[in-house]
Structure 1
Amino acid sequence: MLYPSPVHRQDSSFPDHHIENFRAALTLAINASMAVYT
């Protein structure tokens, strides 16, 4: 986990899922920008 927080320790699956979605969207954005600049 990138930033474990005791508040979300009980539903740890939600933050992890949210982080995975964020990383996936970030990867897609990077790939799109690389395709544009290249």
Structure 2
Amino acid sequence: MSLMHEILIYIYDLIRYAHNMYDFHTMYSFMHGLGLYG
């Protein structure tokens, strides 16, 4: 496996992780707005 390939996979994982955290935050904010949380 080439270095470039490993770097691309690493960046892809970072983006996917950040996207999941963003979705979780959005979902939490939405439910908080509805009064389901806190």
TM over 0.5: yes
Structure 2 alignment gaps of length 5 or more: none
Higher RCO (CA 8 Å, separation ≥ 6 residues):
1
Which one has the bigger helix percentage? Answer: 2
TM-align CA RMSD: 0.5
Structure 1 alignment gaps of length 5 or more: 1-9
Mapped pair 1:33 → 2:20? no
Q: Aligned residue pairs: how many?
A: 29
Task: Extract structure 1 runs of 4+ deviating beyond 4 A.
Answer: none
Structure 1 or 2, whichever has the larger Rg, is 2
What TM-score comes out, normalization by structure 2 length?
0.72
Overall identity of the aligned pairs, in %: 7
